[in-house]
Amino acid sequence: MGADVGGRPLRRREYDEEDVRVRPGKGSRPRTRRRPAHDDAVAAAVVAVDRGRYTCLVGTDLTGRPADGAEPVAVTAMRARELGRKGIVVGDRVGLVGDTTGRPDTLARIVRVEPRTSMLRRSADDTDEVERPIVANADQLVIVAALADPPPRPRMIDRVLVAAFDAEIEPLLCLTKVDLAAPDDLIARYEPLGVPYLVVRRGGDLGELRARLDGRLSVLVGHSGVGKSTLVNALVPDAGRAVSQVNAVTGRGRHTSSSAVALELPGGGWIIDTPGVRSFGLGHVVIDNVLAAFPDLAEGAVHCPKGCTHRGEDCSLDEWVAKGNADPLRLASLRRLLGSREGAPDDTGEDLPEEAVEGV
């Protein structure tokens, strides 16, 4: 009991739990790195990418139609946060959750990206070893090159071939505008590599090309103006890919395709049309991956000194070829490809300008 204040005695205040202020916590649930398994995710394939939105087809993995022949359903999806920075590209096989009906104004989430069978990559330039994915799961790379207007660029073809060998994707050389120039010289250049080729003409029969595309997932690559979009429109009549004329001053085409897109062929199979490119960086490619595409030469490379570039005087491949173990033209082709990988002019003296990539 304390002294009186104003006639009232002072009392010791009694506190209870209502007087205690407790800062709100984060809950008692322990943190965990475990993520939902999403066992109910619906299988789909990515056929287009546009500013963070992915067009996916439910009912196909781009290798054929389902057994019941049902029409695949187009679903718009976004990437789930749990995927982090993992890139998703056309051709990827993914798992979707959420609204997968494909109705307007609906959005699903991509929660899983299935293991890829192949990945076509490029670098921004030859000093950049960062791999930039372009297309996933393709089993054939069709290199579209014009014989004239614009003139062929063998060095560009070489670099795309290196990317195909690195990704273990089967290449096919498709030559266009045969009515403007003969294909003999360009064909002779790639015969030692064993690269299959075919020649097409505008308005001509595409039966041979369709046969090579049938039942496969093929990606078309070529620099601007070679007639790639015209070819796609002929193969897929309702594709509606924009086409343009070659600039008469620069001799180069104008980019008309701004993003990659997968299109189903009427007779079976899929093609992935990519934007035209003016350079194809190979800074991420390992020399041994290119050499692996030349089994007749790879065996002789075991005697090369450590770190051999296979282009110098100390390379044992010269002796290997001199003993008759491989064709000299094959060695010349390998060294030309390795030179193109390093960004150097090829052995023909051709010095084509390497410009920035647009659109890819």
Cα 230 to Cα 253: distance, rounded to the nearest angstrom = 13
Helix (H) / strand (E) element for 318: namely helix 317-322
List beta partners, residue 109: 78, 97
Tell me the Cα Rg of the chain.
29
Cα 74 to Cα 59: distance, rounded to the nearest angstrom = 9
> Is 303 labelled a binding residue?
no
Place of tokens 């187009």: 74
Place of tokens 């739990």: 17
> Is 224 labelled a binding residue?
yes
Q: Which amino acid is at 174?
A: C
Residue pair 92/113 in contact (Cβ under 8 Å)? The answer is: yes
Cα 271 to Cα 353: distance, rounded to the nearest angstrom = 29
- Contacts of residue 327, Cβ cutoff 8 Å, sequence gap at least 6: 192, 296, 321
> Is 222 labelled a binding residue?
yes
> Is 177 labelled a binding residue?
yes
What string of DSSP letters covers 49-87? EETTEEEEEET--SS---TT-PPPEEEEEEE-GGGTT--
Residue 10 tokens, joined: 């002072």
> Is 308 labelled a binding residue?
yes
Candidates 160, 154, 156; CA nearest to 142 is 160
Residue pair 285/163 in contact (Cβ under 8 Å)? The answer is: yes
Coil, helix or strand at residue 10: coil
> Is 69 labelled a binding residue?
no
> Is 223 labelled a binding residue?
yes
Cα 245 to Cα 149: distance, rounded to the nearest angstrom = 9
List beta partners, residue 243: none
> Is 56 labelled a binding residue?
no
- Contacts of residue 2, Cβ cutoff 8 Å, sequence gap at least 6: 9, 10, 11
> Is 304 labelled a binding residue?
yes
Name the binding residues for GTP: 176-179, 222-230
Annotated binding-site members for Zn(2+) = 304, 308, 310, 315
Q: Annotated binding site: which residue ranges?
A: 176-179, 222-230, 304, 308, 310, 315
